[in-house]
Amino acid sequence: MKDFLNVLIGIASTPALLVALIAVIGLILQKKSISNILLGGIKTFVGFLVLTGGAGIVQNSLTPFGEMFKHAFSVQGVVPNNEAIVALALTKYGTPTALIMLVGMIVNIFIARFTRFKYIYLTGHATLYMSCMIAVIMTVSGFTSVPLILLGGLILGMANALSPAIVQPFMKNVTGTDEVALGHTGNFGYMISAVIGKFFGNQNHSTEDLKVPKGLSFLRDSTVAITLTMGVIYIILAIFTGKGYIEAKLSDGTNFIIYAIQMAGTFAAGVFVILSGVRLILGEIIPAFKGISEKLVPNSKPALDCPIVFPYAPNAVLVGFFSSFIGGIVSMFLMIAFHTIIVLPGVVPHFFCGATAGVFGNATGGRRGAILGSFIHGIVISFMPIALMPVLGNLGFENSTFSDTDYGVVGLFLGGLGGLGGVVLITTGIFAVLAIMLILTAFKKKNANPAGNK
């Protein structure tokens, strides 16, 4: 039984396997031929590996960027990094994390089947990280054994259904279709960016419509534009950091300017690989998912990781990253001025989440929406971890913490209730949210079938 559970958790926490399995199930339900099933499953599997590989390339280029920034400006503080904080937590909370994740995925399917929230969350690593945070906070609040697993899984399943729902109204602005949803732990922040873009931007002036003189037409190629832009940023930062530090600590003796150019090219290569993987996945998962939608969970939508929106606005990806990072820098100086805990701008969350916020801000408010929306997003993901740290128990005293907005929303909800009323109030709060979801579902059904219509 334990080995079987480990296999299930392994598949669930490996996005490429999980989404490929979903594609295969969908194709089987559509009674496709074995060759089509193999084709769809393998291409989906490879597509996710391509996407993950691209994300790894980007992350490897951003890690020295963060080190250079800290050294250049002599700042120390808490670094928001989901992978780091989860690695620390799993040493103590590994078993409840795995069980909460398993229960949560089952709950998510039931919610998608029987409520109006028709989203099946397929981002396995994000589900694992959220499970881990829930396990930590609920344990600190007094939950143990079966109640910890069942109620933890219930809140996870509800969060994984609600998170895509809050940003789905804006997904059609981004993708032009309602067939796919966003399954990421930054959805609350993307919603904020989209709302800001809607009210303060101008949808008619997209980041993708920038007019480039004929002599600079090569800049229309997103790979070229990203390489040149990041090259300028890396070189400036390298000069501020200093030749000695870079060549001794980061570049293994390679000239510091050459190293900066190499990292800029690596970043652009990573983005290119991500975009290639996304196109491969979308070409397979949406047709395959129709089988699940038609047979098992009617009208359901797959909720996929945040790079899924990058191909729709490559310029907004870069604008969002820079604007979010600047928001993080502004926040850092405010923290220094007000003598609070200093949260350093985490380059990885500011790229993946900031870039996505830029895409959503652009979709509703054009260039101005992308800049303003992702800038505010950068401030939110800088200050929210400060509020979250006290509810994480001893884990809150580590030099890292959770970065994305949805961790803050779920964590502060559970931690706030735990601080006010412990186990009883958290349990009440969880069932209150479930009741609201069921009421909203009943209300929608009533409106869809008004009195007198048979």
**What phi-psi label fits residue 63: left (phi over 0), alpha (psi between -120 and 50 degrees) or beta?**
alpha
Q: Where are the alpha helices (DSSP H) in 256-401?
A: 256-295, 314-337, 347-388
CA distance 433 to 116: 14
Helix 256-295 vs helix 34-73: crossing angle, to nearest 10: 140
Contact 163, 185 (CB under 8 A): yes
Local confidence pLDDT in tens for the 454 residues of the chain: 666 667 766 766 676 787 788 788 888 888 888 998 898 889 888 887 887 788 788 878 878 887 888 888 777 777 787 877 887 787 788 888 878 988 898 899 999 999 999 999 988 778 888 999 999 999 999 998 899 999 999 999 999 999 999 999 999 899 988 889 999 999 999 999 999 999 998 888 898 887 656 665 555 566 787 788 888 888 998 999 999 999 999 998 999 999 999 999 998 888 888 878 877 777 777 777 777 766 788 888 989 988 899 989 988 998 999 899 999 999 999 998 888 888 888 778 898 899 999 999 999 999 999 999 999 999 999 999 988 988 888 776 666 788 899 999 999 999 999 989 899 999 999 999 999 999 999 987 766 665 545 4
> Angle CA(179)–CA(348)–CA(240) in degrees, nearest 5?
145
Tokens (6 digits) for 165: 């729902």
Contact 136, 395 (CB under 8 A): yes
DSSP H or E stretch at residue 396:
none
Structure letter (DSSP) for residue 402: -
- B/e letters for 428-450, b = 16+ CB within 10 Å, e = fewer, are ebbeebbeebeeeeeeeeeeeee
What φ, ψ does residue 431 adopt, rounded to 5°? -70, -25
User: What pLDDT does 454 receive?
Assistant: 44
State the virtual CA torsion across 180, 169, 103, 51 in degrees, nearest 10: 40
Distance (Å) of CA 201 to CA 77, 309, 322, 366, 419: 34, 20, 18, 6, 39
User: What pLDDT does 449 receive?
Assistant: 63
Q: Tell how strand 400-401 and strand 181-182 pair up.
A: unpaired
Of 184, 103, 96, residue with least CA distance to 134? 96
SS3 of 344, please?
coil
Helix 256-295 vs helix 15-29: crossing angle, to nearest 10: 30
Q: Tell how strand 301-304 and strand 119-121 pair up.
A: parallel
User: What pLDDT does 227 receive?
Assistant: 85
User: What pLDDT does 345 receive?
Assistant: 84
Distance (Å) of CA 340 to CA 67, 78, 336, 401: 22, 11, 7, 15
Question: Can you give the pTM of this predicted structure?
Answer: 0.82
User: What pLDDT does 99 receive?
Assistant: 84
The count of C-alpha atoms lying within 13 angstroms of the C-alpha of 314, restricted to the half-sphere facing its C-beta, is: 19
SS3 of 14, please?
coil
